[in-house]
């Protein structure tokens, strides 16, 4: 019966630890070692109230596996400090004290202060290294202790619950179950199992919570890496755009100096706007305004031979898209489509929302390309390659830039992205 109770006890502590770490506020408290008083109180009551319920279940229902009057306060002290451990000890000891177990609350509060004292003395990161598999490396820790003559905190942290359990057993044997709850031990093997279960009741929550901390840090690192990569790709597209535009202007300086002067003024206005904002994500409405500024420059070059048509669905104007993602597509349509076609041409920019996705297309009736040229244009051109890689980095491999072209008829560049439910903006 005692063995079954100990196994169930470990299952209960693992379940409770997993449930607590699923709450975002509780998980945030685990991520930092410097906590405000409010955070310590939240942690103490989040852990102490379920322990209080467990003590009540033991007193009313005789469910001994729910009693964590030793491990709970000790754990709270190790994680959040002595006062948090004492608060959990008071919560865990109150129902036992009301039930006549007069030594229960002082012992529980003492466990909380013991955990807090260990926290103050040992390196904070050493606490998170305590795990249920610690015993497998016990010989290695002992060897390091002997060879280096340095304090190894893991054996001390594992010995703390054992020492407290010995004290509880001594109190129980001396004063009986009416004064303090304890597991009655009939032989040495059962005593070892009780000690082991006490250590595991502390080590299992620490292992579960530390795993959650590591997962959170990995997610944050992945976000930072993606943001850095997007930032690098975005910084690549601006010099490319400036180089191509200046090349176009330079060809007009001798033949059409006034036109070149007008283009330089428009370019300066556009560059000033680009430098004044560092947003990596903008709405489609803002991106179209930027495209219109670029098209104003191209309209001066081509005159009435360049016709631009917008077919924008009103419900797509608030789509969140990467900044400067359409300009390379429009530029590609002009450079490789319209310029090569005698008599000018037409560019159509259209967008719509469908089935939780936003679809944006840039079409032209220019010279078009063969299938082999489409692949070469995507892989060789800086602008299109940049757009394609940014889409894959941000949204995944299932959201590439799609190009469809027919020689003599024109080209369609298509972007399909998931609809963002809230503006997602990342500053450069």
| DSSP result, 184-243 | ---SHHHHHHHHHHHHHHHHHHHHHHHHHHHHHHHHHHHHHHHHHHHHHHHHHHHHHHHH
Check residue 140 and give its pLDDT. Answer: 66
Q: CA distances (Å), 314 to each of 57, 311, 351, 358, in order? A: 60, 9, 9, 12
pLDDT top residue among 242 and 320: 320
Three-point CA angle 389, 391, 392, nearest 5° = 65
Mean pLDDT of 331-340: 79
Mean pLDDT of 405-415: 87
Which helix (H) or strand (E) is 51 found in, with range?
Answer: helix 37-61
Cα Rg, the chain, nearest whole Å: 34
Check residue 427 and give its pLDDT. Answer: 41
Predicted confidence (pLDDT) at residue 235 exceeds the cutoff of 60: no
Instruction: Give me the helices (H) in 251-281, please.
Output: 257-276
Helix (H, G, I), strand (E, B) or coil at 180: coil
Check residue 164 and give its pLDDT. Answer: 93
> What pLDDT digit, counting tens, does each position of 162-188 carry?
999 999 999 999 988 889 998 888 888
Between CA 232 and CA 151 the distance in angstroms is 46
Token pair of 115 as six digits: 């955990």
Mean pLDDT of 56-71: 90
> Do residues 405 and 398 touch, judged by C-beta distance below 8 A?
no
Which helix (H) or strand (E) is 61 found in, with range?
Answer: helix 37-61
Which 8-state DSSP code applies to residue 404? E
> Do residues 145 and 155 touch, judged by C-beta distance below 8 A?
yes
> What pLDDT digit, counting tens, does each position of 67-93 carry?
899 999 999 999 988 999 999 999 999
- Give percent above pLDDT 70 in the chain: 84
pLDDT top residue among 16 and 393: 16
pLDDT top residue among 38 and 335: 38
Helix (H, G, I), strand (E, B) or coil at 179: coil
> What pLDDT digit, counting tens, does each position of 122-159 carry?
888 888 888 887 766 666 656 666 666 666 778 888 88
Mean pLDDT of 232-252: 67
Largest Cα–Cα separation, the chain: 107
Check residue 424 and give its pLDDT. Answer: 44
pLDDT top residue among 202 and 34: 202
pLDDT top residue among 370 and 275: 370
Please name each of the domains of the chain with its CATH number: 2-220 (no CATH), 251-418 (3.30.565.10)
- The per-residue pLDDT of the chain, averaged, comes to 82
> Do residues 110 and 90 touch, judged by C-beta distance below 8 A?
no
Check residue 202 and give its pLDDT. Answer: 92
| Sign of the torsion formed by the C-alpha atoms of 225, 228, 234 and 240 | negative
pLDDT band at 421 (very low <50, low <70, confident <90, very high): very low
Token pair of 298 as six digits: 């191209």
| Sign of the torsion formed by the C-alpha atoms of 176, 181, 186 and 188 | negative
Give the end-to-end CA distance of the chain in Å, rounded to a whole number: 62
Alpha carbon 47 to its chain centroid, in Å, reads: 24
Between CA 333 and CA 150 the distance in angstroms is 70
Strand-pair partners of 427:
279
> Do residues 391 and 415 touch, judged by C-beta distance below 8 A?
yes
Predicted confidence (pLDDT) at residue 102 exceeds the cutoff of 70: yes
Check residue 114 and give its pLDDT. Answer: 94
What pTM value is reported for the model?
Answer: 0.60
> Do residues 403 and 373 touch, judged by C-beta distance below 8 A?
no
Between CA 202 and CA 132 the distance in angstroms is 9
Among 160, 102, 105, 101, smallest CA distance to 130 is for 160
pLDDT band at 50 (very low <50, low <70, confident <90, very high): very high
Predicted confidence (pLDDT) at residue 332 exceeds the cutoff of 60: yes
pLDDT band at 201 (very low <50, low <70, confident <90, very high): very high
Check residue 116 and give its pLDDT. Answer: 92
């Amino acid at each position: 019966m005692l063995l079954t109770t100990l196994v169930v006890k470990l299952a209960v502590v693992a379940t409770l630890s997993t449930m607590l770490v699923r709450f975002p506020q509780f998980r945030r408290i685990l991520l930092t070692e410097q906590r405000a008083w409010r955070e310590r109180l939240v942690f103490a009551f989040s852990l102490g109230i379920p322990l209080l319920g467990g003590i009540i279940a033991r007193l009313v229902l005789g469910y001994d596996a729910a009693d964590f009057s030793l491990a709970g306060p000790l754990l709270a002290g190790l994680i959040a400090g002595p006062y948090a451990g004492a608060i959990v000890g008071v919560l865990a000891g109150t129902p036992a004290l009301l039930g006549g177990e007069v030594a229960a609350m002082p012992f529980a509060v003492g466990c909380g202060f013991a955990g807090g004292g260990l926290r103050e003395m040992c390196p904070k990161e050493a606490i998170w290294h305590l795990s249920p598999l610690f015993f497998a490396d016990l010989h290695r820790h002992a060897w390091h202790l002997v060879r280096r003559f340095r304090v190894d905190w893991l054996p001390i942290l594992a010995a703390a619950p054992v020492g407290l359990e010995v004290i509880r057993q001594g109190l129980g044997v001396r004063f009986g179950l009416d004064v303090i709850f304890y597991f009655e031990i009939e032989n040495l093997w059962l005593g070892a199992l009780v000690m082991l279960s006490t250590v595991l009741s502390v080590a299992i929550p620490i292992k579960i919570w530390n795993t959650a901390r590591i997962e959170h840090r990995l997610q944050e690192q992945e976000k930072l890496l993606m943001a850095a990569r997007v930032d690098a790709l975005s910084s690549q597209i601006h010099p490319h755009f400036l180089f191509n535009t200046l090349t176009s202007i330079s060809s007009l300086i001798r033949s059409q100096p006034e036109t070149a002067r007008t283009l330089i003024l428009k370019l300066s206005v556009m560059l000033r706007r680009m430098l004044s904002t560092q947003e990596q994500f903008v709405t489609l409405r803002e991106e179209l305004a930027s495209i219109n500024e670029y098209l104003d420059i191209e309209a001066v070059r081509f005159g009435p031979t360049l016709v631009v048509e917008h077919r924008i669905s009103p419900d797509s104007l608030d789509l969140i898209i990467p900044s400067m993602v359409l300009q390379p597509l429009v530029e590609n349509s002009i450079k490789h489509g319209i310029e090569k076609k005698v008599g000018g041409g037409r560019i159509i920019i259209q967008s719509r929302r469908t089935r939780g996705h936003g679809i944006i297309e840039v079409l032209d009736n220019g010279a078009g390309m063969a299938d082999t040229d489409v692949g070469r244009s995507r892989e060789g051109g800086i602008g299109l390659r940049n757009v394609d890689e940014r889409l894959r980095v941000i949204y995944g491999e299932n959201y590439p830039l799609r190009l469809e072209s027919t020689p003599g008829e024109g080209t369609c560049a298509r972007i399909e992205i998931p609809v963002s439910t809230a503006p997602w903006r990342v500053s450069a």
